[in-house]
């Protein structure tokens, strides 16, 4: 590690050496996760992660996952004990209506990056409050740029970055508004930075005072232009190679190669014919060679025609797909309008209220129910469409799960709530009626606290601990223990 001042004292050649010696790793790397997103920015992201070697990296927005999993691959290949957070808001699934990480993303993270990947369903705009000042080494913003987001980057996220950190912004080449262009100009003026045009434009801001050597050299204005161009050329070459796998670049390159070969053979044939007069003694040999050239040209012309037909067919298929997508978008818009109209038609007054319980829990339950009334109405509508993620587990299964949970204490529950029928019936009593009136399952888990933190659960048919066991724990939901002054 070195700071920018130290780099300037080493001279331009040392800058170039630092930079160029760090690039060969790209030629040995092939992304493990493939998606339909433009892959040309991935080599820069992989190289950047390898240089920073982050202990904590965050991707605001995950999208189709190619950028996020590139961070994970780079961190693992560097042998770094890292935590790579991917924070995004995915569409609510069926069942309880809770946000759900898409299956392919969750499966890939678990199978290949279980040691580093941390996918979280949350609002990226409010994610900063979960991280400490000076702890973030790499922040990748894979969201649609807005003036508000860029302002938040400068005012909220910058103080959280570590001394050797960097911030990556996507889609910076063509700002959609003057306000966004102004915010980007402010960020450029505030920090050393690097910009490339691939993938809609990528900007790398050095947010720390002591960047890694190669990264600092790359962003140093004193770096020899040819060295920077050579480094960008390597990254572009790798990005283009990745892009060939996702488009028609391979077919177009074959067409160009066949055309070039045909042109060379045509020139060779013309040269052969010019030499016929001077090579009468070897006329038969020359004619044989000419025939061979003609045969090769014919064969390659045929191959060229086939390749052109394939390219035309691919183009027709692409146009047909675009037409299909446009038609389906119109249909989706119409269906969305119909669904919204149905939602408005099915909305009811405020959601169900819970039976009266302990005095301390009644305000919490009523407040949670009031906050979640719109959510409950949406859940009833989604349920009516048959979009549930899975059926609610049976009472027997929920009782078994509670009895095995460290948060349920049957003896404690029976002593605290004598009307439950004893320890043997404590779990069933909690599920049937105890949770609804605010009973706590044990000293480690507060029912009213969980409902207060999760109003959508309070508005559902779930008991607090039952929901946490079956869904809340895997979704990273927070709960509180029973307050010490309430355990008596």
Nearest in space to 456 (alpha carbons), one of 378, 394, 344: 378
Its domain, for residue 390, covers 362-486
Please check whether residue 339 lies inside any domain of the structure: no
Q: Are residues 261 and 369 in the same domain?
A: no
Q: Are residues 96 and 35 in the same domain?
A: yes
Helix H segments across 63-125?
A: 66-77, 103-112
Please check whether residue 367 lies inside any domain of the structure: yes
Is the pLDDT at 349 greater than 60? The verdict is no
Domain count, the chain: 3
> pTM of the full predicted structure?
0.46
What is the spatial distance between Cα 457 and Cα 436, in angstroms, rounded to a whole number?
12
Q: Are residues 258 and 226 in the same domain?
A: no
Please check whether residue 304 lies inside any domain of the structure: yes
The pLDDT mean for the chain works out to 77
Please check whether residue 269 lies inside any domain of the structure: yes
The arithmetic mean of pLDDT across residues 90-103, rounded, is 68
Please check whether residue 330 lies inside any domain of the structure: no
Is the pLDDT at 361 greater than 50? The verdict is no
What is the spatial distance between Cα 457 and Cα 441, in angstroms, rounded to a whole number?
16
Please, which residues have CB within 8 angstroms of residue 370's CB and are 6 or more apart in sequence?
Answer: 350
Higher-pLDDT residue of 217, 87: 87
User: Are the C-beta atoms of 145 and 174 separated by less than 8 Å?
Assistant: no
Please check whether residue 336 lies inside any domain of the structure: no
Task: State the pLDDT at residue 281.
Answer: 82
Q: Are residues 366 and 401 in the same domain?
A: yes
Nearest in space to 35 (alpha carbons), one of 13, 62, 64, 55: 64
Query: Would you tell me how many other CB atoms lie within 10 Å of the CB of residue 288?
Result: 11
The arithmetic mean of pLDDT across residues 75-81, rounded, is 81
Query: Would you tell me how many other CB atoms lie within 10 Å of the CB of residue 322?
Result: 10
Q: Are residues 186 and 229 in the same domain?
A: yes
* Domain's final residue, options 257, 286, 318: 318
Is the pLDDT at 439 greater than 90? The verdict is yes
Write the pLDDT tens digit of every residue in 283-329. 599 777 988 988 897 889 888 888 899 878 879 988 988 888 788 87
Please, which residues have CB within 8 angstroms of residue 245's CB and are 6 or more apart in sequence?
Answer: 34, 39
Q: Are residues 168 and 234 in the same domain?
A: yes
Is the pLDDT at 42 greater than 70? The verdict is yes
Terminal alpha carbon distance of the chain: 56
Write the pLDDT tens digit of every residue in 331-343. 777 776 776 666 5
Task: State the pLDDT at residue 424.
Answer: 94
- Max distance between CA atoms of the chain, in angstroms, equals 119
Is the pLDDT at 49 greater than 50? The verdict is yes
Q: Are residues 142 and 56 in the same domain?
A: yes
Task: State the pLDDT at residue 397.
Answer: 96
Is the pLDDT at 137 greater than 90? The verdict is no
Q: Are residues 276 and 240 in the same domain?
A: no
Phi, psi dihedral angles at 317 (to 5 degrees): -65, -40
**Residue 433: which pLDDT band, with cuts at 50, 70 and 90?**
very high
What is the spatial distance between Cα 261 and Cα 267, in angstroms, rounded to a whole number?
10
Q: Are residues 374 and 293 in the same domain?
A: no
Please check whether residue 344 lies inside any domain of the structure: no
Please check whether residue 329 lies inside any domain of the structure: no
* Domain's final residue, options 192, 220, 244: 244
Q: Which of 187-191, 317-321, 426-430 has the highest mean pLDDT?
A: 426-430
Higher-pLDDT residue of 80, 5: 80
Higher-pLDDT residue of 128, 15: 128
Name residue 73's beta-bridge partners.
none
Is the pLDDT at 375 greater than 60? The verdict is no
The arithmetic mean of pLDDT across residues 268-274, rounded, is 81
Q: Are residues 235 and 264 in the same domain?
A: no
List of E strands, 189-340: 193-196, 202-205
CA distances (Å), origin 205, targets 68, 81, 169, 258? 18, 24, 8, 44
Is the pLDDT at 346 greater than 80? The verdict is no
- DSSP-derived secondary structure for 289-311: HHHHHHHHHHHHHHHHHHHHHHH
């Amino acid at each position: 590690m070195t700071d920018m001042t130290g780099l300037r004292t080493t001279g331009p050649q040392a800058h170039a050496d630092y930079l160029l010696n760090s690039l060969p790793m790209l030629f040995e790397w092939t992304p493990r996760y493939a998606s339909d997103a433009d892959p040309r920015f991935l080599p820069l992201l992989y190289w950047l992660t390898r240089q920073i070697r982050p202990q904590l990296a965050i991707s605001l927005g995950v999208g189709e996952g190619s950028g996020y999993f590139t961070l994970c691959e780079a961190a693992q290949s560097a042998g770094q004990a890292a935590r790579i957070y991917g924070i995004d808001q995915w569409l609510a699934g069926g069942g309880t209506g809770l946000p759900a990480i898409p299956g392919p993303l969750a499966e890939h993270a678990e199978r290949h990056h279980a040691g580093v990947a941390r996918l979280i369903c949350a609002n990226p705009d409010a994610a900063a409050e979960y991280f400490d000042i000076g702890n973030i080494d790499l922040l990748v913003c894979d969201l649609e740029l807005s003036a508000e987001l860029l302002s938040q980057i400068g005012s909220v996220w910058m103080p959280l970055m570590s001394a050797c950190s960097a911030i990556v912004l996507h889609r910076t080449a063509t700002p959609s508004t003057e306000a966004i262009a102004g915010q980007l100009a402010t960020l450029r003026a505030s920090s050393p930075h690097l910009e490339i045009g691939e993938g809609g434009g990528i900007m790398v801001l050095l947010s720390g005072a002591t960047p890694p050597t190669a990264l600092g050299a790359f962003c140093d204005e004193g770096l020899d232009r040819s060295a920077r161009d050579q480094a960008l050329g390597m990254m572009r070459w790798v990005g283009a190679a990745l892009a060939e796998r996702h488009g028609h670049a391979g077919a177009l390159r074959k067409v160009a190669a066949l055309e070039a070969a045909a042109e060379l053979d045509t020139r060779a044939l013309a040269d052969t014919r010019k030499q016929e007069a001077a090579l009468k003694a070897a006329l038969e040999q020359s004619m044989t060679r000419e025939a061979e050239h003609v045969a090769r040209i014919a064969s390659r012309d045929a191959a060229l025609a086939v390749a052109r037909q394939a390219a035309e067919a691919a183009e027709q298929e692409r146009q047909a797909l675009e037409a299909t997508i446009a038609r389906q978008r119109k249909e989706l818009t119409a269906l969305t309008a119909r669904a919204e109209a149905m939602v408005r038609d099915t909305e009811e007054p405020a959601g169900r209220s819970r039976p009266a319980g302990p005095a301390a829990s009644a305000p919490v339950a009523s407040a949670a129910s009031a906050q979640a009334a719109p959510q409950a109405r949406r859940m009833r509508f989604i349920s009516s469409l048959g979009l549930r993620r899975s059926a609610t587990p049976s009472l027997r299964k929920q009782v078994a799960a509670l009895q095995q949970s460290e948060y349920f204490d049957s003896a404690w529950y029976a002593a605290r709530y004598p009307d439950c029928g004893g320890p043997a019936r404590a779990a069933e009593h909690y599920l049937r009626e105890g949770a609804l009136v605010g009973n706590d399952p044990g000293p480690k888990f507060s029912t009213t606290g969980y409902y207060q933190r999760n109003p959508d659960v309070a508005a559902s048919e779930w008991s607090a601990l039952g929901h946490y066991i079956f869904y809340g724990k895997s979704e990273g939901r927070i709960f509180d223990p029973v307050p010490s002054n309430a355990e008596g």
